[in-house]
Amino acid sequence: MKAEPTTQELRKLVADFRPGRGHVMPALHRIQDTYGYITRKAIEVVARQLNTTPALVYGTVSFYDDFRTEPPPETEIKWCSGPACHMRGGDRIRRALEAELNMPMGGHSDDHRYGLHLGQCNGTCHEAPQVWVNEKVVGNLSVVDAIHLARRVKGSE
Amino acid sequence: MATLTVDGQTIEAPEGAPLVEVLKNNGFYISSLCYIDGLKPYAGCRTCLVDIEGPPGLQLSCTAVVQDGMSVQTSTEEVKEARRAVLSVILATHSDRCLTCHRREHCHPGDICLRDDVVTHRCLTCSKNYRCELQATCEMVGMSGYEPWVGETRSWYTMPHPPADRANPFMEFDPQMCIICTRCQRACEEKRHTGAITLSGKGWDTRIAFGAGGAIDESNCDFSGACIDVCPTAALMEHPNKWVAKPDEWTSTTCDSCAVGCSIMLGSREGRGVIVRPGDGNAFSGDQICVRGRYHYDSLKPRERLQQHQVRRGPIQVPATIDEAVSQAASALKAAAQKGPVGVLVGQTVTNEEALLAKTIAADALGTKADSSQGPVVRAAKEALEERLGTWRMATDATNIPTAKGIVVVQDDIEESHNVMSVRIKDAAVHQHAQVIVISSLRSELVDFATTWIRPAGGEEGQAADLLARALNGENVDDPDIQQAVEQLNGVTREETFVVCAPNPVSPRVSADMAGGAANVATALFGQEASEHLIVLPPQVNTYGLLDAGLLDSSTANALSDLSGLLVIREDPTMHIPGAAEALERLNALVVIDNVLSETAKAATVTIAEGRAYASAGTYTQGDFRVQVLTPATLPEGDAVPLFGALKALAGALDLQVPDDPDAALGVIAKANPAYMPAWDMLVGEGVRLEVPGSGTAKMVPVSAAARTGDGLQIVTGRDLYTAADAAALRHPEAEKLHRYDRIQVSEEDAERLGINDEDEIEISDGTTVVRAPATVTERVKEGTVFVSSLLQGGIVSEFLDADGNLPRVRAGALTPA
Ligand code: SF4
Ligand code: SF4
Ligand code: SF4
Ligand code: FES
Ligand code: FES
């Protein structure tokens, strides 16, 4: 896990964004791509850079499930919520993962070792239903596969 | 005017007015849980349904506007049923057992619920019970017994609720009580322009959140409480009075904490303040107040105020009756006068009427002129104005500010010193797209609304304003910010342009420079009409009243150290005059009338306990020469008496004739100064602007370069938003309850260079005076300066003042941990 970014680092990172040009989302994406998540300090820095309020930026961050405000877990399972996965039983995969990992969608283990997040379809639908484990596709899942996957991630198997 | 029929009654209302407001103002009950009077409708709660003839179905009365000839039904069965239905949906996200219970009227605190409801889920145990808009709405709409969901589980009872935020001293947020009406978010955004509140998440998970999603006090919330005023439930409430604010009396009076002079409603219980709400009838403050107005009624606990008169017996002070105290005070002052000059110092929160008595005592019994410890800084600004504009009384009506098209602000940080003025400037920036030129070295919140921010070195705001004035006059000034400001100001009509200045409250030199620079800008912009477009906000609420009364006029002939005796009225010279503490020790007689045991009161020969301003009747003259009424809203603690009474008793003991009561005193004032005549007839709360003629003369006098002494970081100071002045006089550790300004603020650049971290204990020193406090590293402060609040450690910053009224540069460094 990376150290929390400092104010100076954050300011530098978003220095080229300008107020009033719809730069909130790109600035947030850049921060998340760089540090893996968006700290409170980062929200304040973006707000200052774009001459808006932290509340407005936070409203945006909290609206999109893509943005996270906590460091990502070491191992992250992203569950695809797309239509193809849905048609091929993705919901059952989700329930299996949630039950086995003992966490709701968006949760993570207390020690930040693993977590479960919502993903958006990335076009690899031929392997539906699928999840991504640290961005690597694990597809054609059955419920049993999902349970084994969850156990492996937990380290209980 | 349009004519409309409501439930068969004919009423008149302005065409186009929001229907919901018209209905409410004409006495029709309309539930409207998301509407805020005066703001754009949000149309989210749908409880304001009415039946308007014409269009099919029911309409929202908050989005409907008055049209001539319209016919409205507000209480047909259909309307009532529809309101009950929408309300029942809203109740699904609220603790609703009591709200729909048909036995509600029979329930009293402590009763056992016949329906076996969990205690914490009932209105009877809610802090908002009996003053809750949601509760009242359910009552009016007839929710009693309306439970179509019987047999189902209501989702609120199965939801996990996020924890309440009780981390700050002012405001509590309990999300489980929130019905997501978004009123708080819109009040914060549209009335305050703070934007500290947002809706986070989406759909069912939507919640109210502050700042970047953390605790309220980690956001940019400034605790004005505008959100509390509009919250229809117990979700947002004041912290200090959440459970106790059941006043038995509401009194309309005036905030005593700055020269904006907002009207407040003070709720009291058995003579003690328990809650404050914005007052009404004030054309400038409207429905807004700031954190000081809302919470400083509670700056000290009642037992921390003076409750007994005291007289000195050798090394100790012993309790005395008012008669003993007053007669000893009189004889001590008379005896002191035999041995040398006696001075009188008056605090600037005393009323005009009390000031009259102080002035009479000073002149007729003690042969002196009453002054104030902040006299030098007030006179400095006054003289700077008189030199340029021929008067210190500006003719500008501050109610023009919200609709101005151009505003130049010369300030330390007006957001903090005179908060509601800052709100009104933001009104102009947001609604009029006004050109706002801010001249300040501190990065104040107003900077976010500025079209140009001119950031001079700390304490050189006056010089920067002078430069702007010269550039406006066509001089070539090689500074891109100033050039941009000139361009922006030249793009708006002069008629709708104003200059607002809040001179520094500590350094006479900086104060004079700021007032002088602002006057020059006004002269450059408006010529002979300069005094009709300039507002100068003095350091305290009644500074101008005292000046009008002829107090503060000339410096007490003698420095404190030459005096034989001193009468101090509700103030503490040790907070404002360098070396005052030692000078007080040498006096033959020191008589103090105050409500706190200040450093000065501790040294007193006689102390007379008074109630604070909220116990006074009288008037204040505000920064724009509006006279506001004070009505006694609290009782003095213990034996203490209202200040007018204390002064009258002292005058009596000195064989003086003075007016009998504040009203008679105002009559005397009005006879001497006819401008005050309208004030004499005024009704409570309403306020009246004194007639101030334009001066008709203006000349520019250059502001000379700032004098700099010492080396290191320049001290800058100013009034902060949070510190309570009376608690600071007591050197109370909670004088600043948020603990943001009981620190020394250091710039990020200097902190890095000097190895200072947030929270480090640091020391600043000019070689003689040394101040220690924790550091706050902040972008608010410009490189090369340190900010020390004017009230830090009881005004210790004034100890740094030199004989010319300058603040020095200081060495700063972290103390190595022991
Ligand atoms: S907020 Fe109002 S309706 Fe809700 S529990 Fe409290 S008193 Fe009852
Ligand atoms: S906190 Fe109060 S004002 Fe704000 S949305 Fe909730 S109920 Fe409405
Ligand atoms: S702006 Fe001034 S007068 Fe108004 S509430 Fe605040 S301190 Fe009181
Ligand atoms: S008041 Fe009209 S919808 Fe809420
Ligand atoms: S209705 Fe249940 S998730 Fe939308």
Asked if pLDDT for residue B683 goes beyond 80, the answer is: no
Rounded to a whole number, what is the largest CA-CA distance in chain B? Answer: 90
A75-154 folds as: Glutaredoxin (3.40.30)
Task: Look at residue B92 in the predicted model and tell me its pLDDT.
Answer: 83
Task: Look at residue B122 in the predicted model and tell me its pLDDT.
Answer: 78
Asked if pLDDT for residue B9 goes beyond 70, the answer is: yes
| Nearest-by-Cβ selection for A53 from B196, B199, B202 | B196
Report the nearest-CA residue for atom 7 of ligand 2.
B178
- Determine, for residues B218 and A40 on separate chains, whether the beta-carbon distance falls below 8 Å: yes
| Nearest-by-Cβ selection for A43 from B195, B202, B212 | B212
Of 3.40.190.170, 3.40.50.740, 3.30.1160.10, 2.60.40.790, the CATH number of B304-371+554-685 is 3.40.50.740
Task: Look at residue B155 in the predicted model and tell me its pLDDT.
Answer: 75
| Tens-place pLDDT, residues B785-811 | 999 999 999 999 999 999 899 999 999
Question: What mean pLDDT is predicted for residues B559-568?
Answer: 91
Helices (H), B92-132: 97-100
Pair type for strands B770-777 and B761-765: antiparallel
- Please, how many CA atoms are within 13 Å of residue B201, restricted to the half-sphere of its CB? 10
| Tens-place pLDDT, residues B45-88 | 999 999 999 888 899 999 999 999 999 999 999 999 999 999 98
Beta strands in B78-203 (DSSP E): 171-173, 197-200
Q: Which CATH class is domain B713-814?
A: mainly beta
Alpha carbon dihedral B168, B169, B171, B175, in 10-degree steps, equals 40
CA-nearest residue of chain B to A39? Answer: B212
| Residue B667: band (very low, low, confident or very high) from pLDDT cuts 50, 70, 90 | very high
Provide, as residue numbers in chain B, all residues whose Cβ is less than 8 Å from the Cβ of A62. 198, 200-201, 209, 213
Separation between Cα atoms, residue B330 and residue B750, nearest integer Å: 53
Task: Look at residue A41 in the predicted model and tell me its pLDDT.
Answer: 93
Task: Look at residue B501 in the predicted model and tell me its pLDDT.
Answer: 98
Separation between Cα atoms, residue B170 and residue B701, nearest integer Å: 45
Centroid of ligand 5 to alpha carbon of B91 (angstroms): 19
Asked if pLDDT for residue B534 goes beyond 60, the answer is: yes
Asked if pLDDT for residue B552 goes beyond 90, the answer is: no
Task: Look at residue B120 in the predicted model and tell me its pLDDT.
Answer: 64
Nearest CA-CA partner of B408 in B494, B509, B512, B527: B494
Provide, as residue numbers in chain A, all residues whose Cβ is less than 8 Å from the Cβ of B213. 40, 43, 58, 61-62, 69
| Residue B445: band (very low, low, confident or very high) from pLDDT cuts 50, 70, 90 | very high
Q: Is B577 in the pocket of ligand 1 (CB under 6 A)?
A: no
| Tens-place pLDDT, residues B747-782 | 999 999 999 999 999 999 999 999 999 999 999 999
What are the domain boundaries of chain B?
2-157, 171-238, 304-371+554-685, 378-539, 713-814
Q: Are B49 and B83 in contact (CB under 8 A)?
A: yes
Q: Are B468 and B482 in contact (CB under 8 A)?
A: yes
The residues pairing with B165 across neighbouring beta strands, listed in sequence order, are B173
Tokens of A24: 């909130």
pTM: 0.90
Question: What mean pLDDT is predicted for residues A26-53?
Answer: 93
- Determine, for residues B214 and A59 on separate chains, whether the beta-carbon distance falls below 8 Å: no
Report the nearest-CA residue for atom 3 of ligand 3.
B261
- Please name which ligand lies nearest the alpha carbon of B124: 1
Select the residue from B198, B205, B776 to test the A interface by mutation, using most A Cβ atoms within 10 A: B198
B378-539 folds as: Dimethylsulfoxide Reductase; domain 2 (3.40.228)
- Determine, for residues B213 and A56 on separate chains, whether the beta-carbon distance falls below 8 Å: no
- Ligand 2 proximal residues by C-beta, below 6 Å: B 178-184, 208, 230-233, 235-236
Report the nearest-CA residue for atom 1 of ligand 4.
B32
| Tens-place pLDDT, residues B320-372 | 999 999 999 999 999 999 999 999 999 999 999 999 999 999 999 999 999 99
Centroid of ligand 4 to alpha carbon of B138 (angstroms): 15
CA-nearest residue of chain A to B211? Answer: A55
Q: What is the mean pLDDT of chain B?
A: 93
Of 3.30.1370.100, 3.40.50.1240, 3.30.70.20, 3.20.20.70, the CATH number of B171-238 is 3.30.70.20
What are the domain boundaries of chain A?
7-63, 75-154
- Please, how many CA atoms are within 13 Å of residue B311, restricted to the half-sphere of its CB? 14
Classify the complex by whether its ipTM is higher than 0.90, answering yes or no. no
B674: left (phi over 0), alpha (psi -120 to 50) or beta: alpha
Task: Look at residue A20 in the predicted model and tell me its pLDDT.
Answer: 79
Angle between helices A90-101 and A143-154 (to 10 degrees): 30
Separation between Cα atoms, residue B31 and residue B84, nearest integer Å: 10
Say which CATH architecture domain B2-157 belongs to.
Roll (3.10)
CA-nearest residue of chain B to A56? Answer: B198
Asked if pLDDT for residue B243 goes beyond 70, the answer is: yes
Q: Is B437 in the pocket of ligand 1 (CB under 6 A)?
A: no
Asked if pLDDT for residue B119 goes beyond 70, the answer is: no
Show which residues on chain A lie within 8 Å of chain B, measured between beta carbons.
Answer: 40-41, 43-44, 47, 51-59, 61-63, 69
Question: What mean pLDDT is predicted for residues A76-97?
Answer: 91
Provide, as residue numbers in chain B, all residues whose Cβ is less than 8 Å from the Cβ of A41. 212
Measured from the Cα of B182, ligand 2's closest atom is 5
- Please name which ligand lies nearest the alpha carbon of B216: 2
CA-nearest residue of chain B to A66? Answer: B201
Residue B271, burial from CB neighbour count under 10 angstroms (0-12, 13-18, 19+): middle
- What number of other Cβ atoms are within 10 A of residue B173's Cβ? 28
Pair type for strands B770-777 and B744-746: parallel
| Residue B4: band (very low, low, confident or very high) from pLDDT cuts 50, 70, 90 | very high
Match 């009194």 to its residue by tokens. Answer: B251
- Determine, for residues B209 and A62 on separate chains, whether the beta-carbon distance falls below 8 Å: yes
Task: Look at residue A1 in the predicted model and tell me its pLDDT.
Answer: 45
| Helix, strand, coil percentages in chain A from 3-state DSSP, rounded to 5 | 45, 10, 45
Provide, as residue numbers in chain B, all residues whose Cβ is less than 8 Å from the Cβ of A52. 195
Question: What mean pLDDT is predicted for residues B174-191?
Answer: 95
| Nearest-by-Cβ selection for A55 from B201, B202, B210 | B210
| Residue B556: band (very low, low, confident or very high) from pLDDT cuts 50, 70, 90 | low
Which of the pair, B616 or A4, is modelled with greater confidence? B616
| Residue B684: band (very low, low, confident or very high) from pLDDT cuts 50, 70, 90 | low
- What number of other Cβ atoms are within 10 A of residue B197's Cβ? 28
Task: Look at residue B479 in the predicted model and tell me its pLDDT.
Answer: 96
Asked if pLDDT for residue B43 goes beyond 60, the answer is: yes
Query: What share of chain B has pLDDT > 90, as a percent?
Result: 83
- CATH node for A7-63: 1.10.10.1590
Question: What mean pLDDT is predicted for residues A23-51?
Answer: 93
Which of the pair, B199 or B104, is modelled with greater confidence? B199
Nearest CA-CA partner of B763 in B755, B774, B753, B751: B774
- What number of other Cβ atoms are within 10 A of residue B561's Cβ? 12
Question: What mean pLDDT is predicted for residues B620-627?
Answer: 95
**Three-state SS annotation for B9-47:** EEEEECCCCEHHHHHHHCCCCCCCCCCCCCCCCCCCCCC
Which of the pair, B42 or B148, is modelled with greater confidence? B42
| Residue A63: band (very low, low, confident or very high) from pLDDT cuts 50, 70, 90 | confident
Select the residue from B200, B206, B221 to test the A interface by mutation, using most A Cβ atoms within 10 A: B200
| Residue B654: band (very low, low, confident or very high) from pLDDT cuts 50, 70, 90 | very high
Asked if pLDDT for residue B458 goes beyond 90, the answer is: yes
- Ligand 4 proximal residues by C-beta, below 6 Å: B 32-35, 41, 43-48, 60, 62
